[in-house]
Amino acid sequence: MKRFRLSLLAPLLTVIILLCFSSGAWSATKESHKTKSKLPSGTLTASQIKHLFSGKTVVANVAGKKTPSIFYFSPKGKVWRVRKGWQKVGHWKTRKDGRLCVKYKGAQRDCRIIIKKGNAYQQYAVKKSGNHRLELTYTRFLDGNQLTRLSKKPILPVGTLRAKEVVKLFSGQTVESVTARKGRISHSYYNPDGTLEQSRNGVKRSGKWRVKKNGRICLQFSGLKEKCRIIVKEDGQIKKYIVKKNGRHQHSVSYRNFTPGRHL
């Protein structure tokens, strides 16, 4: 009778042992997935990052770029980035696990580690492999908003369009515009071949138009000097600005309608 009971228990014990082994292996696998990437020595904590960046204008060398970027990290969580006069505005915060998180409008939030290297601070994108990618090297920290003073070029308004965007907006369109100061209304046809026709108060004139690599749209009417301006998308409207060295750019024209084709 005892032999019969033992013969029944043996398979049951085998199943229990296998289940225990499988459970242990599964737990080990789960733990391995939870294992965090090893961070380099010198990685700053969240409180150290906040103390270092809050209320500071910071100059950074961008990996693979010749021109540095300049940032201002407002104590209230807003961040401005300026490079070659172009600026982006977003929000920043620190994460509990020691990450600097920045989110610009229209982009995903990026969270990065900051590592102290001598007198500089390096920003890395964390990789599971441990081969963290260097993105920025912060070299200077100045109190307050110093963007205008440090930028070698006039800082353009947020919403300033790039060259491709300007070409797409104007090329092949009849555009209704109104001047900011005198309220003069014009209708202009921007021919894709670079010629320009304009009608204002029944008076017609012709000329040329082009878009420079820096995003300026340039108009030249017969007998007049070429003028180049930036185009800005501002509060849902399209506006033209005269760029000033002091950053106080002058609004010159507002655009009302863009109609495909020639309608003069």
* Domains of the chain and any CATH numbers: 46-150 (2.40.128.640), 163-260 (2.40.128.640)
Per-run averaged pLDDT (10 residues), the chain, 264 residues:
48 48 43 54 92 97 89 97 94 94 87 92 89 92 95 94 97 97 95 96 93 96 94 95 92 96 93
Counting beta carbons within 10 angstroms of the beta carbon of residue 57, is it exposed (0 to 12), middle (13 to 18) or buried (19 or more)? buried
Q: What is the pTM of this model?
A: 0.76
C-alpha–C-alpha distance, residues 155 and 57, integer Å: 15
pLDDT of residue 37: 61
pLDDT of residue 144: 97
pLDDT of residue 42: 81
pLDDT of residue 76: 95
> Which residues neighbour 172 within 8 Å (Cβ) at sequence distance 6 or greater?
190, 191, 192, 260, 261
Q: What is the DSSP string of 105-154?
A: TTS--EEEEEEEETTEEEEEE--TTS-PEEEEEEEEEEES--HHHH-SSP
pLDDT of residue 65: 84
C-alpha–C-alpha distance, residues 42 and 168, integer Å: 47
